[in-house]
Amino acid sequence: MDWNEVVLPSTALVGLIVRGSVMYLALGLLIRVVGQRESGGLGLTDILVVVLVAEAAGAGLIGDATTIADGLVVVITMVFWSVVLDAVAYRCPRVAGLIKARPRPLISDGQFNRRLMRREFMTEDDVLSQLRLHGISDPTEVARTYLEPNGMISILPREGVDVSDPPERPVS
């Protein structure tokens, strides 16, 4: 076995770095534009999309590259961009709004934010389901409910409203 064919780069490093940079930034922008809804975790179609995007992006990332070093250069490039964008968002709050998602209000003073719900393809039943998981049956009991950057929903009840913890899964 020729170790040079396995370990040493088979493609120009600059090309791999450009490919990794473009794919990381383009996919990051695409995900940012598409939205952040995740009202209950990943569904089967979500997993399918992730697998298909990974498969489609793989060819664009590596091209004709075949060695471990080629793949490592692309991975290092993507990790680099992840760290750089996080550092820029941390140090420059004005830029952070463009790079990072912010919490957005789904309910304010008991009123649904229908515009945000339409953008995130969330129905009233989706939001009410999340309220029930937190022991709230009526949206008027909510001061604010946020769609968080990670896709989860956080709920701030009105003062005096007793909120129970989410129920545990029943034992089968």
Task: Give the model confidence (pLDDT) of 34-83 as tens digits.
Answer: 665 554 455 555 666 677 677 767 766 666 777 778 878 888 888 899 89
Q: Are 105 and 156 in contact, with CB atoms under 8 Å apart? A: no
- pLDDT category at 90 given cuts 50, 70, 90 is very high
Once rounded to an integer, what is the mean pLDDT over residues 134-160? 88
Which residue has better confidence, 150 or 73? 73
Quickly tell me which residue has 């968002």 as its tokens: 89
Question: Contact, 136 vs 155, CB < 8 A?
Answer: yes
Using a cut of 0.95, tell me whether the model's pTM lies above it. no
Domains of the chain: 10-99 (no CATH), 104-157 (3.30.240.20)
Residue 145 CB: number of other CB atoms within 10 A?
24
**Is the CB of residue 130 less than 8 Å from the CB of residue 103?**
no
Reported residue count of the chain is: 172
What residue type is 160 in one-letter code? Answer: G
> 67-71, 73-77, 94-98, 116-120: lowest mean pLDDT where?
67-71
Task: Say yes or no to pLDDT of 120 above 50.
Answer: yes
The Cα 58–Cα 92 span in angstroms is 32
Distance CA 57, CA 71 (A): 13
Cβ neighbours for 162, distance < 8 A, ≥ 6 positions apart? 135
Beta strands in the chain (DSSP E): 104-108, 111-112, 142-147, 153-157
What's the token pair of residue 47? 């997993």
Of 9, 52, 35, 47, give the one whose Cα is nearest residue 149. 35
